[in-house]
Amino acid sequence: MNGAPRDLYPAITGDIDTASTVEPIVPDSTEGRDIYRHSVSHIMAHAVKDLFPEVKVAIGPSIEDGFYYDFERETPFSSEDLEKIEKRMLEIIKKSSPFSRKIMDRKEAINFFREKGEEYKVELLNEITDDEVSFYEEDGFIDLCRGPHLPRTGRVKAFKLLSVAGAYWRGDEKRKMLQRIYGTAFATKEELKTYLEFLEEVKRRDHRKLGKELDLFSMNDEIGSGLILWHPNGATIRKTIEDFWRDEHVKADYDLLFTPHIARLDLWKTSGHLDYYTENMYSPMDIDGVDYELKPMNCPFHILIYKNDLKSYRDLPVRYAELGTVYRYERSGVLHGLLRVRGFTQDDAHIFCREDQIEDEIHKVLEFTIFVLETFGFKEYSIYLSTRPEKYVGTPESWDRATAALKMALEKKDLKYSEDPGGGAFYGPKIDIKIKDALNRYWQCSTIQVDFNNPERFDMTYRGSDGAEHRPIMIHRALMGSLERFFGVLLEHYGGAFPLWLAPMQAKVLTIADRHDEFAQEVCSSMRAAGLRVRTDLRNEKIGYKIREAALRKIPYLVIIGDKEVADRQITVRRKNGDNAGPYGVDEFIGMMRQEVSNKQ
C-alpha cells in the first residue's frame, strides 16, 4: 500500500483512503518469494522450539532460493531431527493459524525475551533505536520480526529442509558457533520438485567432488585452509588456460610482467590499501627491521614498472599483464573449495593511457573479455556498472568522469547493463561481467575499473605534446578474475567433461589383448609427437572394464586396438558420449584431433 509492504491479516483499516495506491504482492514476484520463504522460516523456528524447548533462536531470513534459521543447541541437529522438524512443520501448516502482527514497547519486549532466556533476541532489541517494535504470532509462537508474513500458515504449499551447517553469531569468529538449518520453499509442489532435481545436478557437478574424482587438485590442513595443491591433471588444464591467456595478450599488444609476492608496507600506504583494504590483508612481517606485507593486489608493482623510465604521450597506451598470485584474508567460514580461497592468481592487467584514449581502450577490453569468455564456452552474461561506494579515495568529480567513460563505452557497444549503486572499488567505478553457466547460475569473473586516483597517489606522469607533465589514466582489468575461481566455475559448467583442447588427457589407447600392445604404443607415440595428450592402457583387464574406467575419467576419446585394427593398421574410436566412430587411419584421426584443438572445441 502506497509503495510499502503490508500484511493482509489483520485487515487494513483506518489509514486507507481514496488516494491510496494498493497493489497485490504475488507469490512468483521477488517480494512475494521473500515473504513466503521468511514465513516458512518462522514456522520452522516454531517447530524447533516445540520439539527442542531448550534451543535458543537467533535469526531466520529468506535468502536466494530459500531460507535459514540460526539456533543455539549443544547437541548437533541430525538428519533424523530434520525429518522430525519437517513433520512438525506440516502439522503447524495444516492448522492454518493466522500470522498476527503485534506492536510492543521496546523495553517491554526486552524483558519479555529476557524472561524466556532468548539472549540473541535481547541483543538485537538493544540495537534497535525505535521506541516500539513489531512481533508476529501464530498458534502461540511469537517471534521478533519486521514482516510482513503470509496471512496464514496454511498458505504454505511446498517446502523442504536441506542441510545443517555451523555459523558464527553475527558472522564473528569470536562469537558463539550456532547451528544453521537451511531450507527452501515454493508456491507449488512442481516448482519444489524441479528445484530439488536442480540441487541434485549441482551436487553431481560440485567442483570439489569432481576435483577429487578426476585427481585435479586438493587442499591439505598441513598447509593451511584456503590454499590449493594442483595435481598433474589440474596443472595440465591450468597450463593450457595460461598458455592461451599469454598468447592472446601478446597478440593484443600487452607486455607480460612478473612481480614479487611481498613488498614493503609503505607501498600499501601509498596505494591506499592499508586505509581501505586492511581487513583483507595479513599481518606485516618484520624483515631486517622493516615491515613487509604479502601482496593483496598487483597494481602498485605495475605502477612502479611504469615509473621506471620517462614516458611520452606517444608511448601511451602502455598495457601490462601478469598472472600474479595474491593473498587475501578470508574468514574460515566463507572458504569454499576453489571458489573462495586465501591465495589465488589473478589474470591481472593495467592499462595506462591518456584521457582521450579511455573510451577506445575500454572498447578493446570489452571485446577482449567477451572473446575470452566465449572461447571457454560462456555465451551468456550479465553486465553491471558499479558506482562510488561510501568509502572511497579521490574526488567526486574524478569519479563522475570515470563513471561517464565506462557508461559511454557500454552504450556505444550497445551492451545492455544494470547499475550497481555503491558497488565500485574504493579507488574507482567498474564494469562487472557475470557469466551464466550450464545450470543457469551467474558467476562474477570479469571486471574493468577506471582509476584516476592511483596515478595521483604515485605521482605518475607522461610528457604531453605541449611539453608539460600530465597524469595518465589507469584502467584495471581482469578477464577471468581469479584463476582458481574461474577453474572451479569451468569445472562445474562442463561437469568435468572438458572440451578436447582443455582436457588433461585428450585420448587413451586401450588394448584388448597383449598381442596388440606394440601397435598401441606406436599409435600413442605418433599422437604424442603431434602434441596431443595421450596415454595407453595395456593392462591385462577386460576391454569393457577399461572403457568404463576411462569413461569415469571423462576422457574425450578412447582408441580401441584389437586384432582387426592391428591387421588393417587402423583404429576404432569411442567418443566420451559413448558413440563409436571409425575406423580411422592414425594420421587421419590425429589431423581431426589437432583441428578440434586448434578450434578450441
The residues carrying an active-site annotation are 299, 328, 346, 348, 350, 430, 476
Residues 6+ apart with CB under 8 A from 465: 313
Amino acid code (one letter) for 226: G
Residue appearing with cell numbers 506492536: 103
At 569, is the secondary structure helix, strand, or coil?
coil
Residue appearing with cell numbers 579521490: 394
Q: Which residues of 142-167 are buried (b: 16+ CB within 10 A; e: fewer)?
A: bbbbebbbbebbebbebbbbbebeeb
Q: Contact, 151 vs 173, CB < 8 A? A: no
Chain centre distance of CA 583: 43
| Alpha carbons 350 and 299: distance in angstroms, whole number | 7
| Alpha carbons 16 and 6: distance in angstroms, whole number | 12
| Alpha carbons 95 and 50: distance in angstroms, whole number | 15
Closest CA to 160 of 89, 223, 102: 89
Closest CA to 296 of 321, 257, 322, 324: 324
Task: Report the half-sphere exposure of 168 (CA within 13 A, side-chain side).
Answer: 10
**Distances from the Cα of 421 to the Cαs of 35, 158, 181, 589, in angstroms?**
25, 35, 32, 54
Cα dihedral 295→299→305→307 (10° resolution): -120
Q: 248 — phi, psi (to 5°)? A: -70, -30
CA-CA-CA-CA torsion sign (579, 584, 586, 588): negative
Q: Contact, 503 vs 555, CB < 8 A? A: yes
Pairing of strands 507-511, 557-561: parallel
DSSP string, 496-534: T---TTT-SS-EEEEESSGGGHHHHHHHHHHHHHTT--E
| Alpha carbons 557 and 527: distance in angstroms, whole number | 12
| Alpha carbons 204 and 493: distance in angstroms, whole number | 11
Q: Contact, 472 vs 452, CB < 8 A? A: no
Nearest 5 degrees, angle CA 92-CA 95-CA 98?
A: 90
Q: Which residues of 227-241 are buried (b: 16+ CB within 10 A; e: fewer)?
A: ebebbebbebbbebb
Closest CA to 589 of 530, 546, 521: 530
Residue appearing with cell numbers 502461540: 140
